[in-house]
Each structure stands twice: as C-alpha cells, then as structure tokens.
Amino acid sequence: MGSDMAMRPLLLLPEIVLFLGGLTVLVSGSFLPRTRQWVTRVIAAAALVAAAILAAVALPGPAQPAMEGTFTVDTATGVARIVAALGTLIVLALASDEIAGSPRESETYALLLFATTGTLVLAGADDLLVVTVGFLLASMPLYGLIGIARTPRGAEAAMKTYLLGALFGILLLVGVTLLYGVSATTSYAELTDRLAEAPQGVVAAGVVAVLGGLMFKAGGVPGHYWVPDAAEGAGGAVAAFLTTVPKIGAVVAAYRLIAMLPDTLAWPLLVAVLAVASMTLGNLAAYWQTDPRRLLGWSTVSQVGYLLVPVAVAGRSDLALPSLLLYLAGYTVTNLSAFAVTTAFPDRRDLDSYRGMGRARPWLGASLVVALLGLVGTPPTVVFAGKLTTTMAAWDGGLAWLAVLVFVNTVISLFYYLRWIAPVYGRVEPPARTLPGAFISAGWSATTAVVTAGLSLALGIAAGALWSVFSA
C-alpha cells in the first residue's frame, strides 16, 4: 500500500482527542463526588478547545487521505471540526446553568463528546462503511441525551428518536449493502466509475436509502419527525445541541455522497425536492407553534432545507462547498443564540410569556431579535451571507427555480419569527408576572446568548474573509 493511502492516524487527532476526552469524563465522573462534578465539565471543555485548535492548525493545507483512503482531511472536514467543537463548547456553557450538580452531569458531558466525535467522523468520511460508523456514533448518544431529562415529554421524545433512528439506520445499511452489491467497493474513490456501469435502478434505491439515513441525522424530510418533539421534550442544552451539531456532519456527508455520484441519474433534482420539502414543511409547521423550543425545532427542519440547496449542486458549481460551509458556521452560532435565550428562562414555555422581556432585559431582547432575524437571513447577520451564497450556487448550478423557492420560503419564515419577537417588545399589563423583576435569567445562558448574537453579526461583517478561507 502506497504512503499516500497509509493509516496516518495523526490526521485524526481532533476526533481522537474528543473521543478520549469523552472516555476520561465518563470514568472520572464515576469517582468524583457530586459537589466536584464540575471538574468533568472542565475536562470536556479542554478536549473541545484542543480539538478546535488542532483542526484550525491543519485547516490551510491541501486535502489528505487517512485510514487507507476511507477518511479525507480537507477544508470541509476542517471547518466541520471547528464549528462542531465550538458549537458543543457553547452547549457546555448552557449546560452549566441547567445540569450543574445534577445526578447525570458527567454522563451528559461524555455523551455530548461522543456524539460530536460521530459528527466529525461523518464529515470526513470517504467510504460508505465509515459513514455508517459515524452515523451510529453520532446517533446513539442522542437517545440517552434526550431521555436524560426524565420527564414524560423527554421519555416520549427519546422513544420516538430511538425508533426513527433504528428505522433510518437500517435504511442506511440497506443502501450501503445495495451499493456494495453492484460495485464490490465502499470507497468513494472507486464508486464513481463502478456505479456508472451498474444497474441504475439498484443504484437509485441504494443512494436514496443512504440519503434517507443522513436526513434523519440532519433532521430533514423524510427523517424529521423526531426533531420538534426532541427540541420540546429534552433539556434546553440538549435541545440546542441536537438541533445544531449533528447537522454539520450529516450535511457535509450528504455533500460528499452527491459529489461522488456519476451523472447517470438526476441526483440534483432528488436533493432539490428534499430541500424544498424540508424548508416548506418546516416553515408551515412552525407557524402554529406556541412553545418557543418547539417553534425552533420546526425552524431547524426548514433550515436543513436551505442547507441542502448547495448539496443539490455538489460538483456542478464552484460556489457550492464554500457557501455550504459558510451557512453551517452561521446557522450554528445563530441557532445556539436563540436556544440560549430559552435556557436563560427555562420556565417560559409559551411565546406570550416573553411579553415585556425586551424592556426588562434589553440585551437579551436584542440578542433574541438578532438570532431570530438572523435565522430568517436578515443582513448583516452571517446567515444572510450564507443564504445569499447558497442561492447563488443553486443559480450557478442550473437550478434557478430552487433559488426562487428559497426566496419565497424566506419571506414565509419571517412571519413566525415575528410572532415571537412581537410579545418581547409588547405592552405589559401590570400586575403581570412579566414585569422587570420577573425576568431573572440564568447567568451562563444569558451571557452566551449575547455573545453568540454578537458573533452572528461579527461573522456576517467578516463573511468575505471567511469565504476566502472556505474557498481555499
């Protein structure tokens, strides 16, 4: 085997650091007394920071194969590593308010690290079997994380996610089996030519099944049913995590899959249909929600639709990959900012209960407005830059109708985000419990909301510089 296809485990240092960090947290949490569990949070944060730094150091280099060519370290892998690690770090900050001192504190941190490791494996996978490993490693900790809340809603959400995860996991394995059956390989490097000569009906069935598995992980149609329930039933920090971080690996994995496929079938049309279904269904369902976390859950289904737009033109437009990475980075900080506001006020589970918050807590009110208008794609937030460039990629790749539908859905989405913003700055009738003294927020979450909202604006202003890095 040539040196270019050797194992080269050092290229996987960020993944190794995260996985070992998770093991360390799991083991040390068993020996630490309840009052000292915060040590495991420090270990988890250190592992995430180390993984992000290692990924950033390796980012500017050319694409390099590892593990016998089954894993690729390139710009997409590097950006996914940094965004996922820093996203999980933000989730740890939210968890500091919510689960500090709870009986399952160290287990939660360990599961977060394991799920993040799975996400990174998915992002760099260049082999169908590695995609399967990443899928399982990213999915299994999620079931535990959702059910750890120990509430009736949490139990229901965990069961629903588990059953759907099992179904779509089997679907993914069926797809891998079909593609292997007609090509005798699972490596992307060899699949392109072999699938071009294989029976097209089997290839279509295999690819649809693999894409279905990845859609469960991303939370897009048709694997989206668990997302709103999990966002509503899980703890706030876990809800923030599961609507954000797993998408990073799943969407990048979908991009690599579509880019590898031969032009024998209309793959762009298939992904474009999934994109339109996700963004339209997510927007229409979010419109009627009264629970802010459930609204954000449906909002993330629609966001997967926008993220799939550049995937539809994978390999057909030079703008596709950098625009996808820009959108992923922007969506991560913006969505986490919106969830941080809900964890700052964990008892307010109705949109109307936020009435008057903008006056009582001006900084948090402003952060929520930036986050929600950012999710719509309002300038100068970073999601605006992401949405603009992904739409340009669709246009450039010959899917002008998809670009138009993105615009239509963006306008529709504005209405349900405004349903939350309106009460924040609405009039308060005294003696309501929403008077200034009633908006006492959890400290870490409030700070995180303000910082991430600021980051959403800062990244939007610096979008040009980010674009040049992502295009390298």
DSSP state of 127: B
**What whole-number distance in Å separates Cα of residue 94 and Cα of residue 242?**
13
Contacts of 237 (CB under 8 A, 6+ apart): 91, 92, 94, 95, 98, 99, 108, 343
Region label for 294, one of left (φ > 0), alpha (ψ between -120 and 50) or beta (otherwise): alpha
> Residue written as tokens 């690290």?
113
pLDDT averaged over every residue in the chain: 93
Model confidence pLDDT, tens digit, residues 201-250: 999 999 999 999 999 999 999 999 999 999 999 999 999 999 999 999 99
Model confidence pLDDT, tens digit, residues 83-101: 999 999 999 999 988 887 7
Helices 382-396 & 320-344 angle (0-180, nearest 10): 150
> Residue written as tokens 């759907």?
164
Confidence band, pLDDT 50/70/90 cuts, at residue 434: very low
Residue 97 to residues 202, 334, 352, 363, 446: CA-CA distances in angstroms?
A: 50, 20, 23, 19, 10
Which tokens is 447 given?
């700070």
Model confidence pLDDT, tens digit, residues 167-178: 999 999 999 999
Mean pLDDT (whole number) for 31-59: 93
Q: What is residue 472's predicted lDDT score, i.e. its pLDDT? A: 75
Partners of 404 in the β-ladder: none
Which tokens is 105 given?
């504190």
Among 264, 285, 238, which Cα is nearest to 415's?
285
**What whole-number distance in Å separates Cα of residue 451 and Cα of residue 437?**
23
Evaluate if residue 471 carries a pLDDT over 90: no
At position 35, the amino acid (one-letter code) is T
Q: Which one is predicted more confidently, 436 or 414? A: 414
C-alpha dihedral over 372, 376, 381, 385, to 10 degrees?
A: 160
Q: Are 354 and 298 in contact (CB under 8 A)?
A: no
Does a cis peptide bond (omega within 30 degrees of 0) precede residue 222?
A: yes
Mean pLDDT (whole number) for 307-320: 95
At position 147, the amino acid (one-letter code) is G
Q: Up-side HSE of residue 8: CA atoms within 13 Å toward CB?
A: 17
Which tokens is 383 given?
């999601």
For the chain, the structural domain boundaries read: 1-265, 276-472
Model confidence pLDDT, tens digit, residues 171-199: 999 999 999 999 999 999 999 999 999 99
DSSP state of 220: -
Q: Are 283 and 412 in contact (CB under 8 A)?
A: yes
Q: Are 449 and 367 in contact (CB under 8 A)?
A: yes
Give the DSSP per-residue string, 76-94: HHHHHHHHHHHHHHHHHHH
Q: Are 449 and 340 in contact (CB under 8 A)?
A: yes
Partners of 187 in the β-ladder: 127
Which tokens is 61 given?
């280099």
> Residue written as tokens 């000569």?
197
**What whole-number distance in Å separates Cα of residue 251 and Cα of residue 196?**
24
Q: Are 310 and 271 in contact (CB under 8 A)?
A: no
Evaluate if residue 1 carries a pLDDT over 60: no
Is 24 in a helix, a strand, or coil?
helix
Vertex 212, ends 206 and 213: CA angle to 5°? 95
Evaluate if residue 295 carries a pLDDT over 80: yes
Evaluate if residue 364 carries a pLDDT over 90: yes
